[in-house]
Amino acid sequence: MSYNLLKGKRGIIFGALDENSIAWKTAERVHEEGGEFVLTNAPIAMRMGQIKQLAEKTGSEIIPADATNLEELENLVAKAQEILGGKLDFVLHSIGMSVNVRKGKHYTDSNYDWTHKGWDVSAVSFHKTMSVLYKQDAMNEWGSIVALTYMAAQRVFPDYNDMADNKAYLESIARSFGYFFGRDKKVRVNTISQSPTPTTAGQGVKGFDGFISYADKMSPLGNATAEDCAAYTVSLFSDLTKRVTLQNLYNDGGFSNMGVSDAVMDAFTKE
């Protein structure tokens, strides 16, 4: 069902890789709700993914950009405004990567060059993106910026590794930069803390299947899907949430407030 919530709104969507990715589902949903956007991803991710199909489907242009590179971000933001014909109303930051996770390095034995790279891609890229948007005065008043995060920023999930630290840093940037963006430009900045979701990135985490099933059993409403996250993001891009800012918002079926559930207890008492 479409409500035309984003009619006449323009933006940038980072991080659509393939149809499993939350950014991909969000792009489809934003398109359904009448929003226009440019798609962007790192050149290497674009070679791996199917972003061209998404661009065709949503009538969008693609601007490749490495989100850790300020010059490329400056070009992206300037070009996006040219293509879309004005300032932006929404931006989705859906980027995360840990070399330590990818290469199976244990958290207690981090390769710090890899740690630095993952931190730059997953967290500092959000600061860089907002810095460019802010300096170019690229956002319309009451615009909305959203980044995706995960509850490992607050609680221990041992196999999530240094991505937990990256997400904690990302959430802090959203608050700190969000204050200045709100005060000076009337733009809101929030993070969505999503259920574990079987995306290409998510499935790189060890023991992911067991983890999805555990979260599902712990959550009274079950895990939030990528489509659920897309719908929630649309609500944050819309004018219906114009004074929601500096928040870390849980889209997780209730998992974040649970101690234990009957379904999880049953699994243990059967043993």
Residues assigned a catalytic role: 150, 160
CA distance 126 to 79: 19
- The answer to whether the annotation marks 172 as part of a ligand binding site is no
Distance CA 65, CA 67 (A): 6
Residues 6+ away with beta carbon under 8 Å from 70: 128, 131, 132
15 annotated ligand binder: yes
95 assigned binding-site residue: yes
Give 108's Cβ-side CA count (13 Å radius).
1
- In the block, which residue shows the tokens 């990818």? 102
Task: Enumerate the H helices of 141-261 as residue ranges.
Answer: 163-185, 208-218, 226-237
Is the Cβ–Cβ distance between 147 and 93 less than 8 Å? Answer: yes
179/202 Cα distance (integer angstroms): 30
How far apart CA 195 and CA 164 sit, in angstroms, is 14
Q: List phi, psi (to 5°) of 31.
A: -60, -45
Q: Which residues are annotated as a binding site?
A: 15, 21-22, 95, 167
Q: Which residues are annotated as a binding site for NAD(+)?
A: 15, 21-22, 95, 167
